[in-house]
Amino acid sequence: MSTATAADQRVYNFSAGPAVLPVPVLEQARDEMLCLPGVGASILEISHRSAAFTAIIEAAEANIRKLLGVPDDYAVLFLQGGGRLQFWMTAANLIGELGAFKGKSADYLLTGSWGKQAMAEAKKVAPVRVAYDSSGSNYDRLPAPFCAGEPAMDLDPDAAYVHYTCNETIQGVQFPSEPDTGGVPLVCDASSDFMHKKLDVTKYGLIYACAQKNAGPAGVTIVIVNKALVADASPNLPIYCNYNTHIAEKSLNNTAPTFSIYIVKLVTEWLLREFGDLDAVYKQNQMKAKLLYDVMDAAPDFYIGHARRECRSLMNVAFRLPSDELTDAFLSGAKKRGLSDLKGHRSVGGARASIYNAMPVAGVECLRDYMLEFKNQQG
């Protein structure tokens, strides 16, 4: 009989999402699976209106508020429908017939595949404008001043909001800081780098993030919204799609995704316990990404980065090898070492290493060592 435990069989999982979770979180969920301490039943079996679950959702919210310094005039919501529902819901609540800023349009920064999809959904609601578009170079860059020589954003000072994707998961392009919109509210899709560093939340009107990349499992999407921004959205919006419903009812208008919220609570507890604050998380994320980018920078003709240096992501490291044969050999060799899910998205090709908060430093070191070795063998 094998003595290998389930934990021994775990690989280093570089999946873009759903993605790696911290082992202590999985262990605690396992230990509490039959019975939440003092509750007598599992998280999967209790009412979303029970005292036990109320304590869980309140703790998850308090942890997020603490980690990100969310001010009181912002609500923290736990919704369903993923990032994709937010593509439409942000627009429906702000522009369009039922929106708080009816009659206005919104500006979109297209720096990757997700931003493009967000705009396509918003367009169903009301007119939108493209304020920047790097699709011509398959989304490898950002506007000036982030990338020198690029055009600046072409912003409409009268727009209801500017939507951008702070980390484009597929192309591995990340904004190093918020774009300056001259006072127009920022609406941000932070799905793949949520809680990877501290933010000044007051710079945003609304931040949304599906949890399954950097914050928890699939099934819940976290929204941080300035309550005043959405206050005038029409009550004629579908009840689930009106932010004011969820603000008023503390995300419990309907049955909330209880298990997913429970895991977000455990992940945020882990961040607080393991790192203390998001500055420490950020430091480790910078260090992990540098391990891989240093290898790429030393062999730029072998590991060919997709994103320009000024905007490459700390979360998703996307690169190609000189040929499809080498890419295949690289990926299959990686798999043999227990380095999984490194295949790039089909629209970019090559490889992509997603190294979210929960990816251990040892996993990135293992990949770094493999990249060096593979290059020496083949290069």
Ligand X SMILES: *Cc1c(COP(=O)(O)O)cnc(C)c1O
Positions annotated as catalytic residues are 114, 189, 213
* Angstrom distances, CA of residue 61 to CA of 80, 187, 206, 363: 16, 20, 16, 30
The only residue of 17, 179, 205, 350 in contact with ligand X, by rule CB under 6 A: 17
Cβ(321)–Cβ(328) below 8 Å: no
**Residue 212 annotated in ligand binding:** yes
Q: State yes or no: residue 213 binds ligand X (CB under 6 A).
A: yes
Cβ(303)–Cβ(332) below 8 Å: no
> What is the helix, strand, coil percentage profile of the chain, to 5?
40, 15, 45
* Angstrom distances, CA of residue 166 to CA of 54, 62, 115, 175, 312: 31, 24, 9, 5, 11
Q: State yes or no: residue 82 binds ligand X (CB under 6 A).
A: yes
Cβ(264)–Cβ(215) below 8 Å: yes
Residues 6 or more apart whose CB falls under 8 angstroms from that of 118 comprise 86, 87, 90, 108, 163, 165, 189
Q: How many residues bind ligand X (CB under 6 A)?
A: 12
Tokens of 150: 């690029």
Q: State yes or no: residue 194 binds ligand X (CB under 6 A).
A: no
DSSP secondary structure letter of residue 345: P
Per-residue binding letters, 225-254, with ligand X (x by CB under 6 A): ------------------------------
Q: State yes or no: residue 349 binds ligand X (CB under 6 A).
A: no
Provide the β-strand partners of residue 224: 76, 207
Q: Which residue is nearest to ligand X (CB)?
A: 82
**Residue 84 annotated in ligand binding:** yes
Q: State yes or no: residue 210 binds ligand X (CB under 6 A).
A: yes
In sign, the C-alpha dihedral spanning 290, 296, 299, 300 is negative
Cβ(99)–Cβ(151) below 8 Å: no
Determine the Cα–Cα distance for residues 232 and 8; give it in Å rounded to an integer. Answer: 53
Q: Which is nearer to ligand X, 243 or 370 (CB)?
A: 243
**Residue 114 annotated in ligand binding:** yes
Determine the Cα–Cα distance for residues 89 and 223; give it in Å rounded to an integer. Answer: 11
**Residue 255 annotated in ligand binding:** yes
In the complex, what is the shortest distance from the CB of residue 277 to ligand X, in angstroms, rounded to a whole number?
24
In degrees and rounded to multiples of 5, residue 351 shows phi and psi of -125, 155
Q: State yes or no: residue 114 binds ligand X (CB under 6 A).
A: yes
In the complex, what is the shortest distance from the CB of residue 315 to ligand X, in angstroms, rounded to a whole number?
9
The only residue of 61, 107, 140, 189 in contact with ligand X, by rule CB under 6 A: 189
In the complex, what is the shortest distance from the CB of residue 175 to ligand X, in angstroms, rounded to a whole number?
12
In the complex, what is the shortest distance from the CB of residue 189 to ligand X, in angstroms, rounded to a whole number?
5
The only residue of 63, 90, 134, 165 in contact with ligand X, by rule CB under 6 A: 165
Which span sits near ligand X by CB under 6 A: 151-159, 186-194, 268-276, 301-309?
186-194
Cβ(95)–Cβ(106) below 8 Å: yes
Q: State yes or no: residue 169 binds ligand X (CB under 6 A).
A: yes
The only residue of 174, 191, 245, 284 in contact with ligand X, by rule CB under 6 A: 191
Rg of the chain taking only CA atoms, in angstroms: 21
Q: Which is nearer to ligand X, 46 or 173 (CB)?
A: 173
Q: State yes or no: residue 192 binds ligand X (CB under 6 A).
A: yes
Which span sits near ligand X by CB under 6 A: 51-59, 184-192, 322-330, 341-349?
184-192
Q: Helices 258-274 and 51-68 meet at what angle, rounded to 10?
A: 40
Q: Which is nearer to ligand X, 52 or 259 (CB)?
A: 259
Binding residues for pyridoxal 5'-phosphate, as ranges, are 83-84, 114, 169, 189, 212, 254-255
> Which residues fall in the annotated binding site?
49, 83-84, 114, 169, 189, 212, 254-255
Can you give the binding site for ligand X, defined by CB under 6 A? 17, 82-84, 114, 165, 169, 189, 191-192, 210, 213
Binding residue numbers for L-glutamate: 49
